[in-house]
């Protein structure tokens, strides 16, 4: 039989828009976000292994349910980083410095988890793992994740 290299395509889709995922995170996040409004970073501590989750997480790898709120520092260290332009990144070397954004993975003192933030007030060439940073709070935090969007060298 004659074989075609291109055969009919049948279009179809996956209605992800019909899913109603459930999360416990919202309730926990309410308290966390309320803390941000007061310029406090709250973590949830696991009774089993003592790990402190920031932002809060409703379950722990040790199979216990973290439940105790603790305040952690707004200072910490850079654990990893990358650079990004806004949408199309042209490369660290070639990028327009003013458009380069430094995205850092941070661990706040007293927390055991990784968060992502934008580092300001540092030259891209100076960023390093282990660098000390602190959260740059807005004057009037809104009680939203973007209140901790920016960090600066401590």
Between residue 101 and residue 120, which ones bind another protein under the rule CB under 8 A?
A: 101, 103, 105, 107, 112-116, 118
Tokens 């949408």 label which residue?
87
Smallest separation (angstroms) from another protein to the CB of 97: 13
**What's 88-103 look like in SS3?**
CCCCCCCCCHHHCEEE
Give the one residue of 87, 96, 97, 123 binding another protein; rule: CB under 8 A: 87
Tokens at 129, concatenated: 């793992």
Q: Does residue 60 touch another protein according to CB under 8 A?
A: yes
Smallest separation (angstroms) from another protein to the CB of 32: 8
What is the CB neighbour count within 10 angstroms for residue 135? 23
What Å distances lie between residue 83 and 5, 71, 153, CA to CA? 42, 30, 16
Of 21, 32, 34, 24, residue with least CA distance to 115 = 32
Smallest separation (angstroms) from another protein to the CB of 56: 6
Map the footprint of another protein across residues 35-54, applying CB under 8 A: 51, 53-54
Q: Does residue 98 touch another protein according to CB under 8 A?
A: no
Map the footprint of another protein across residues 122-151, applying CB under 8 A: 128-129, 142-147, 149
Q: Of 81 and 133, which CB lies nearer to another protein in the complex structure?
A: 81
Q: Does residue 97 touch another protein according to CB under 8 A?
A: no
Torsions phi, psi for 70 (to 5 deg): -135, 150
Give the one residue of 71, 80, 126, 137 binding another protein; rule: CB under 8 A: 80
Neighbouring C-alpha atoms within 13 Å toward the C-beta of 23: 11
């Amino acid at each position: 039989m004659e074989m075609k290299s291109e055969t009919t395509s049948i279009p179809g889709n996956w209605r992800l828009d019909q899913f109603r995922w459930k999360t416990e995170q919202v309730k926990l996040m309410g308290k966390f976000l309320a803390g941000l409004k007061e310029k406090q970073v709250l973590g949830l501590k696991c009774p089993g292994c003592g790990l402190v989750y920031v932002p809060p997480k409703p379950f722990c790898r040790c199979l216990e349910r973290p439940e105790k709120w603790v305040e952690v520092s707004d200072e910490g260290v850079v654990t990893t980083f990358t650079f990004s332009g806004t949408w199309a990144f042209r490369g660290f070397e070639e990028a327009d410095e003013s458009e380069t954004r430094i995205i850092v993975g941070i661990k706040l003192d007293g927390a055991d988890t990784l968060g992502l933030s934008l580092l300001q007030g540092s030259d891209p060439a100076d960023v390093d793992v282990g660098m000390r940073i602190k959260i740059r709070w807005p004057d009037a935090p809104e009680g939203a994740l973007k209140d901790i969007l920016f960090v600066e060298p401590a």
